[in-house]
Amino acid sequence: MNIFGIGLPEMAVIMVVALLIFGPKKLPEIGRSLGKTIRSFQEASNEFQNEFKKEAESLEQTVKTTAELEPKQIEATKSQPENAGSSPTS
């Protein structure tokens, strides 16, 4: 078991030190608040990832649309001078 690069022996030492510092009555409360903090951080991270993916998809769709329209605009621009140069003479 390896969490954040900390193995089981290191986790046990940290828990013993925390128990000595905070006492057995405060430790569950601290654990709960730490769990809530980590959970809210994960939710914010997931929300950020989802928003980033949504914006990336939107940008990708815009690029695809622009790539589809650009050749049509270039062809229209090329055909305009040809039509403008052939004006009928009276």
pTM exceeds cut of 0.85: no
pLDDT at position 74, please? 72
* Residues 6 or more apart whose Cβ sits within 8 Å of residue 8: 1
Q: Tens of pLDDT along 47-75?
A: 999 999 999 999 999 888 887 877 777 77
pLDDT of residue 50: 94
Q: Which residue has the higher pLDDT, 16 or 76?
A: 16
Q: Which residues of 35-71 are buried (b: 16+ CB within 10 A; e: fewer)?
A: eeeeeeeeeeeeeeeeeeeeeeeeeeeeeeeeeeeee
Using CA atoms of 72, 77, 82, 86 in order, give the dihedral in degrees to the nearest 10. 120
Per the DSSP assignment, residues forming a β-bridge with 3 are: 6
